[in-house]
Amino acid sequence: MMKRLWEWIVKRWRKPSPVKPKVKRARRGKEHYGAHYYLGDLLDHLDSSFKDLPHFRRAAPEAYSLFKSIGATVGNSDGLVAKELEPWIAQTLPSFAADYIGPERQDGEFVTINFAYFMRETRRPTNVQPSNAARYRVGMTYQWEGGHYCDYFFVGLNRDGSIRPLKIVQPKEYRAGKSIFTRLEWSYGVAELVAKDHKRPVEEWMREMFALVVNKSMSRDSGMTVKVRKNGLCAAFAIDMERTPYFFADREKTVTENGQTKKIIHIVRAHERTLAGGHKKWIKSHFRGLREFTWNGYEVSVGLGGKHGASLGAINLEPTDDDDGDVIGMEEAGKKLGRAIV
């Protein structure tokens, strides 16, 4: 009894140990360039991209045949995109890539752009202004008055990253009294209409649009590349390499024979391991875990470009209009590249 009383007295009069205040970790900003750190509304954008892909087919069937297998790059609303090109990007730019802009991006009252893509032109089309720079066609699919269309413009890309808008020659109708006649004139085509809608100088808008399409498309190579597939269609985005457990926490679990859940791909840091007999061995940093699984109804594959397959930036093929020689069509090219690219 005396012992319990003494313990009570000690507890009653003992000064409580100071409580250390919890250090709040600074939360990382949601806005980002390239790889995603937070999920945000990425899933909504993914769902939307797969709904809009059939419109891509109606507007630009050839490009659709390629990008449905390679995947257009998708991002969330927190993504930031640079409006200029760095010289190293200009020197390592692949032959083609695409990104999903989405219906939430309104381009004034003229059009709503859904997909945008670029494709290098190896031969100068007869109606395009000459240039010594690498020529790229920039395509934009959009909805207008209930229909789905694709228009494009051309730019020349120099090795220092500078962009030169290129004119095309098109027929233009003129009316003189009751007579109508047509003449060929150089212009920037549909880019002039869109730039006017934006109240922007047309050349400035073309440079900026090309840079946005390139930077957004290539952001899939800026971290761990995630490819999602559904019904034979594909989309892609990049995440921070250490954030795979966060992004795919609600994936469909795969278990081992012992009933343990298999971990998805993650980085194992370099460490020292003690082996049997006390011997020690230095283990290099490496990847472990599942690279393919089901997530929110999508078939997902995760990998690092150059490690688990080719990155999109490593693809440097030459599109051609010739039917002679060893040539494959867009459909077959898309299937082969879809398997080769991470």
- The answer to the question of residue 111 being in a domain is yes
Instruction: Dig out the tokens for 286 from the structure.
Output: 């490496």
The confidence score (pLDDT) of residue 106 equals 47
Does one domain contain both 178 and 281?
A: no
Of 221, 236, 254, the domain-final residue? 221
Q: What is the pLDDT of residues 78-105, one digit of tens each?
A: 999 999 998 888 888 999 999 998 765 4
Domain boundary among 205, 221, 237: 221
The whole-number pLDDT of residue 107 equals 46
What's the number of CA atoms in the CB half-sphere (13 Å) around residue 322?
A: 8
Collect the ranges in the chain with pLDDT lower than 70: 1-26, 103-111, 255-257, 259, 318-325
Q: Do 232 and 94 have their domain in common?
A: no
Are 112 and 175 within one domain? yes
| φ, ψ (nearest 5 deg) of residue 160 | -85, 5
246 shares a domain with 190: no
pLDDT at 23: 59
* Res 322: pLDDT: 63
Buried b (16+ CB within 10 A) or exposed e, 138-174: bbbbbbeeeebbbbbbbbbbbeebebbbbbbeeeeee
Rounded Cα gap, residues 112 and 117, in angstroms: 15
Instruction: Verify that 132 and 155 share a domain, yes or no.
Output: yes
Host domain of residue 329: 224-340
| Residue 225: closest CA among 73, 327, 96 | 73
Among 147, 117, 152, 164, residue whose Cα is nearest residue 55? 147
Our count of domains for the chain comes to: 2
Q: Are residues 85 and 217 in the same domain?
A: yes
| Structure tokens belonging to residue 183 | 């003449």
- Identify the three-state secondary structure at position 185: strand
pLDDT at site 1: 54
Q: What is the pLDDT of residue 91?
A: 84
Single out the residue in 221, 254, 287 at which a domain terminates.
Answer: 221
pLDDT of 323 reads: 63
